[in-house]
Amino acid sequence: MDEIPFLKPRLVSKDALTGYLEQIDATRIYSNHGPLNKRVEERILRRFFSDEGAVVTVNNATTGLMLAIMQVKRAGKYALMPSFTFSATPLSAMWCGLEPYFIDIDPERWCLNERQLEEALQKLGDEVAVVVPYAAFGAELNLEYYESLRRSGVPVVIDAASSFGCMRDDQFGRGFKGAVVFSFHATKLFGIGEGGLIYSADETLIHRLRQSSNFGFDQNRESRQIGLNGKVSEYAAAIALATLEVVDEKIIARERIADWYRAELQDAGMLFKGWKLQEGGGKIPYQFFPLLCPPKHDHRFYLSKLQAAGIQARTYFSPSCHEQPLFQRSPHSDLSVTEDVCRRILSLPVWEDIEQAQVQRIVRCLADE
């Protein structure tokens, strides 16, 4: 029986890049916010954000988080965030001289529990330097709440690594005046190999972030603020431009796969037997398909079943950050929901040319008691 891999990324083909590579050869500009990169930013801002605000590309989302946190943080020692996130989130805060403070998640969307966040803000007061919510697997966040938090004087940087292409009425993040950081890693919907994007409705903030991603240089190439080299090469921009030509097809493909999973789970009666889907809101072109197994088993039981059937799966994000050696001493709230979700989380295969019959095989393997 053929194995089903967990991820099988497919970037644009070399033929789609030829015209852009010829433009690079003609200009002999290879980096430093070149013409192709400028075109990427203009097209993304128009296509996904209706020309509201501004964007800047970065060489990866972790760099984007570091730059954004450093730019907006206030005096204080803590970065409040979920433990249920990729380690890049707390690492970015640590690179900015802050200490992660982990808050529990809500049991439906698996995003920051806003009630516990408020309690932590009241408890810690001015010790809070920044809040870094994670939009778990592309789930909707309450942007009105985080905008009000930002207006109250608490800086907010949203880790939206998996959220590019996630729609309700608009692209997630549109109109938010803090920083929203997206990933363009190869495994994401908008995969270009390595890369990322920072969006804000505050154009001045993006201007500062663009400078800080280029060594903090001003127009005279003098460092006026702390910075690093976070720029995207023209070759990565070429992949991004070619990807923009097919991104709608990629969104449709991933949404269709998620619909297959939901239908198969429903047909197998699994949603009445303790299996639980994430409540995300809007449309999510998933990087992988997340769900919780029934409480009677933890995910190891089902991982073993899948592995025996030649099916690869993962458990993002288990172990969660507070369970990992580097972060074990970080302060945190009660994390009972995080620990329950991490015990039960399964991440099932999604790649754009996976077949419906393969999704059926995956679900039937899980359903077979």
Joined tokens for residue 144? 């009105």
User: What 8-state DSSP symbol labels residue 250?
Assistant: H
- The catalytically annotated residue of 73, 77, 123, 188 is 188
DSSP conformation letters of 337-357: HHHHHHHHEEEE---TT--HH
Joined tokens for residue 175? 């109109």
Burial 291-320 (b: 16+ CB within 10 A, else e): bbbeeeebbeebbebbeebebbbbbbbbeb
Alpha carbon distance 339, 84 (integer Å):
9
Alpha carbon distance 293, 340 (integer Å):
11
The upper half-sphere exposure of residue 109, i.e. CA atoms within 13 Å in the direction of its Cβ, equals 18
- Which H/E stretch holds residue 84? none
Alpha carbon distance 316, 342 (integer Å):
8
Edge-to-edge strand ranges of the sheet holding 289-292: 276-277, 289-292, 345-348
| Residue 188 bears catalytic tag | yes
- Which H/E stretch holds residue 222? none
With 0-12 / 13-18 / 19 or more C-beta atoms within 10 angstroms meaning exposed / middle / buried, residue 43 is: middle
**Three-state secondary-structure class, residue 165:** coil
Alpha carbon distance 150, 176 (integer Å):
10
**290 forms bridges with which residues in the sheet?**
347
Edge-to-edge strand ranges of the sheet holding 157-159: 54-58, 196-200, 179-183, 157-159
Single out the residue of 318, 287, 320 nearest to residue 139, CA to CA. 287
Active site residues: 188
